[in-house]
A = this chain, B = another copy of it.
């Protein structure tokens, strides 16, 4: 690993030690480094928190910043209103016959709270150990900025791009992209492309360029077990009235077998058996269980027997409790027999698994074991 390859998460210098960037583009980026650095900081300083309506003006300002940034480099852009935050689309279609690449990103960020956990102010980008710390620096302003600057390097140096490019930058990714599907459906022509590039996921390792080919999907459930109409005294009623919390624990315990396989009948029916070649490639990646254990602070890993950790994380579905609540959870003891018990449960799904189908299987299983 070279020295420059360390500069990864939100770094001001892109990791290019091991890669081959043509000399003209490399020179442009080096010559313009301070200006580009300042532009990124300008973008990061806009508190475009999409979840909070008191930041609506900031969110709007971020959209305008992106539009101006695209216009400036020669990718004419427009701000499209939606029912929520606007979408910015820039188009450069001057390579007739060449394929069209759509680049997706988002200019909105998560709320910065809890503020007391920040070492430096969330909207004042700060460099520590050659990394830039700011809300949105890696999700997703850093990445969309990188794409825009790559386009700029090409256009400024060579006056052209090797492919046609559409850049779409939305402002509601952090709140579920509620208005994006409708926008895409309406703007089929504007967005027409041969390939889509999305840089809004984790990097596998510092200095290792990687392409993420799929992410796991989700089916999210809430299981509520209702017992007596109100909380009861466990001394007066315990032993005869069914305890909903205990009943729920027994239901959850049926979700996996002793080898960590999901025991909901039919759950794996559509799960792909991956090509041994791809599994071999995955095993060749620089990854160690020990690093993951250290990162998460656990003394052992778990999950499905027969699969490597990366396989468990990337190509195998899961069934997890995300939250659970029943009875008295405060300090000390209260001898309550809870009236109800709740668990939030979600399944991470892999290609070909259908959330609606998984919901059916889950419901049938719970009805059977309850």
Q: Footprint of B on A, CB under 8 Å?
A: 202, 215-216, 218, 220, 227-230, 232, 234-243, 245-246, 248-250, 252-253, 255-256, 292, 296-298, 300-304, 309, 312-313, 316-318, 320-330, 333-338, 341-344, 346, 348
B240 touches A302 (CB 8 A): yes
> Closest Cβ of chain B: how far from A215's Cβ, in Å?
7
Q: Show 26 A/B contacts (Cβ-Cβ < 8 Å), sorted by A.
A: A215-B235, A216-B235, A227-B298, A229-B298, A234-B348, A235-B348, A238-B318, A238-B348, A239-B312, A240-B302, A240-B309, A241-B298, A241-B301, A242-B302, A245-B252, A245-B320, A245-B321, A245-B323, A245-B324, A246-B252, A249-B250, A249-B252, A322-B327, A322-B328, A323-B326, A324-B325
Q: What is the CA–CA distance of A323 and B324 in the complex, to the nearest angstrom?
A: 10
Q: Which of B324, B330, B344 interacts with A333 by CB under 8 Å? A: B344
In the complex, the count of this chain's copies comes to 2
Q: What is the CA–CA distance of A212 and B312 in the complex, to the nearest angstrom?
A: 58
B329 touches A324 (CB 8 A): yes
Contacts of A292 in B (CB 8 A): 240-241
* CB-nearest residue of chain B to A289: B240
B320 touches A337 (CB 8 A): yes
> Closest Cβ of chain B: how far from A58's Cβ, in Å?
24
Across the A-B interface, give the 9 residue pairs with the lowest CB-CB distance, nearest first. Answer: A229-B297, A253-B253, A323-B327, A242-B302, A249-B252, A245-B321, A239-B318, A323-B328, A228-B296
Q: Which of B246, B298, B303, B321 interacts with A256 by CB under 8 Å? A: B246
Q: Which of B235, B320, B327 interacts with A238 by CB under 8 Å? A: B320
